[in-house]
Amino acid sequence: MKSPIRAGKKVEADLLIKNAQIRTLDHEGTIAQSLAEFGGWIIGIGSNEDLADLAGPRTRIIDMKEKTVLPGFIDAHEHLSNVAEIPLQLDLSSPFPKSIDQLLARIKSQAERQPAGEWIRGIRYDDTRISDGRPLSRQDLDTAAPHHPVVVIHVSFHWGVVNSEALRKGGIDESIPDPKGGQFGRDPGTGRLNGKVLESALYRFGLEGLTREPMIVPPFDKDVRRKALIAAAEMLSAAGITGVHDAVVSPSYVTSYTDLGARNSLPLRVNMLIPYIFLPELEKLGLVGNWGNPWVRCTGIKIIVDGAIAGRTAALRDGYSDDLANHGILLFEDKNELTSWVKRIHSMGYQACLHANGDLAIEMALDAIEKAQRDDPKPDPRHRIEHCTMINESILRRMHNLGVIATPFASYLWQHGDKLVKYYGRERSEMMFAHGSFLKGGVGVAGGSDHPAGLHAPLLGVQSMVTRKTPSGEVIGAGQRISVEEAFKMYTAYAAYASFEEDIKGSLTVGRLADLVVLNQDPWKMNPEDIGQIGVEMTIVGGTVVYPRE
């Protein structure tokens, strides 16, 4: 290959990778040996000899010693801004409390370490892994920390438990009605508040991106947020992630991301999904569709339609298998309200990103998209259904016809698969995280972790999509298995498509961004059950080595 010439001068690569086994994941399935980067972009792909001419005295050359190189992983549904805040709070998932008493002991010791009146923010509490067989209550928290306001958020982020002091700080007393799209838990005997706060009732206790009302628990300071974001992003770099779609970005994190992007301080690229409640602000500013740059970009507008799979709040047409009367939670009781938001998003040129787990919620989301598209037809709006967990043939057909993209949980079966059949029954479980059905049905689909609710490592996601194995080794939905190649595309090319960036991301091709990952084993040449064990040797974003840190 002859060097490209720009303005009469020969271009000298900033970075040249050689002796690699580069799986480009392009349309032709090209495998190459060498890659050259200049100014963040790929300027050459080929053999060592082909690209030798691109090296100059200032070129950094990395000999990959036959290691496997892939396009950098893009997680199409990650909660980086939430992840950043985990170390700033009391993480109740590690070490894992086995009983309510153990959990309360940790709250108590936290209370002893901080001044009375200061918030204790517990996160990632998982009632299903605690032996007592009952959820935490307001009274429990009152005993552990009577003088501190306490909020404990469930691992699903869809509900939490607060103590009496927290209720007092929020001006909440027994007379409070349930808010729209949420609920204050009450003791069935006495009818008194038991501290459980579900969905929208939880927002003001720490989920800043989901409410325009004043927060009861204040947001973290801007410098604290900036440092925390970089640390969290670096953890993802170590897993080979070069880009995330942050699925709920609150206004303060829009500021943090754009600030970090402008300082060139981010080790990965961020696509922001901004909650729909802030659409009026974007309208006022005249910010329409996909604004930003390849580092920080607004991809879509997020609407949460129903609850969670693990939290058993997903809206199901036929109810939960072990509790048929329970159909989960719909956050929009009025269908027309959802439709009018989707139309507004659609007409502003944004992708509507509708969180819908259960079949009932997915159908409702599709109804809204269908109306928006009928009233204002656009050639390729690429609206998304986030998670899109429980599907059926009719949902698949409608998604195909509307060009709607799904971002299902990639590693859910590997992480929680064993409890699925109890909650959802065999047949429905086989049609969950239906990567295989989406591909066969001609529906756009991308890999997402839902981290921190799910595990962040894309290699685990690949293993789970390829094997469909639960922790106990059972296979659920063998027909949903996909090939190793397709599984990696979920985290590369297809994720890029989900944000209209397939021309610049997702495959290692000349003219695209030089975002790549180096693995210590070739996933194509091993037992798929071990793909999650592969080590990430190096992560490169825009030609810069971001992992290991230099």
**Strand boundaries in 129-262, DSSP class E:** 150-154, 159-162, 182-186, 193-199, 241-246
CA 103, CA 96: separation in Å to the nearest integer?
8
Query: Interface with Zn ion includes 78 (CB under 5 A)?
Result: no
Query: Interface with Zn ion includes 450 (CB under 5 A)?
Result: yes
Structure tokens that stand for 378 in this block:
């656009």
To Zn ion, the closest distance from the beta carbon of 77 in angstroms equals 6
Contact, 378 vs 411, CB < 8 A? Answer: no
Query: Interface with Zn ion includes 247 (CB under 5 A)?
Result: yes
Question: For the purposes of burial, counting CB atoms within 10 Å of the CB of 115, is it exposed (0-12), middle (13-18) or buried (19 or more)?
Answer: exposed
To Zn ion, the closest distance from the beta carbon of 160 in angstroms equals 16
Query: Over 366-426, what HEC string results?
Result: HHHHHHHHHHCCCCCCCCEEEECCECCHHHHHHHHHHCCEEECECCHHHHHHHHHHHHHHH
Query: Interface with Zn ion includes 76 (CB under 5 A)?
Result: no
Of the pair 23, 77, the CB lying nearest Zn ion is at 77
Question: For the purposes of burial, counting CB atoms within 10 Å of the CB of 413, is it exposed (0-12), middle (13-18) or buried (19 or more)?
Answer: buried
Query: Taking contact as CB under 5 A, which single stretch among the options 132-140, 169-177, 243-251, 284-292 is the one that binds Zn ion?
Result: 243-251
**Residues constituting the chain:** 550
Query: Taking contact as CB under 5 A, which single stretch among the options 83-91, 242-250, 294-302, 416-424 is the one that binds Zn ion?
Result: 242-250
To Zn ion, the closest distance from the beta carbon of 389 in angstroms equals 11
To Zn ion, the closest distance from the beta carbon of 28 in angstroms equals 34
Query: Taking contact as CB under 5 A, which single stretch among the options 112-120, 133-141, 143-151, 239-247 is the one that binds Zn ion?
Result: 239-247
Of the pair 430, 450, the CB lying nearest Zn ion is at 450
Of the pair 20, 345, the CB lying nearest Zn ion is at 345
> Residue holding tokens 């959820």?
135
To Zn ion, the closest distance from the beta carbon of 3 in angstroms equals 45
To Zn ion, the closest distance from the beta carbon of 208 in angstroms equals 15
484: CB partners within 8 A, 6+ apart? 462, 466, 523, 524, 528, 531
Query: Taking contact as CB under 5 A, which single stretch among the options 28-36, 227-235, 245-253, 294-302 is the one that binds Zn ion?
Result: 245-253
To Zn ion, the closest distance from the beta carbon of 308 in angstroms equals 9
Query: Taking contact as CB under 5 A, which single stretch among the options 44-52, 162-170, 410-418, 445-453 is the one that binds Zn ion?
Result: 445-453
Of the pair 239, 247, the CB lying nearest Zn ion is at 247
DSSP letters for 70-112: EEPEEEEEE-HHHHHHGGGSEETTSSPPSSHHHHHHHHHHHHH
Grouping H, G, I as helix, E, B as strand and the rest as coil, residue 190 is coil
To Zn ion, the closest distance from the beta carbon of 448 in angstroms equals 8
Which secondary structure element, helix H or strand E, spans residue 546, and what is its range? strand 544-547
Query: Taking contact as CB under 5 A, which single stretch among the options 226-234, 362-370, 447-455, 527-535 is the one that binds Zn ion?
Result: 447-455
Question: Which residues in this chain contact Zn ion in the complex, by CB under 5 A?
Answer: 247, 450
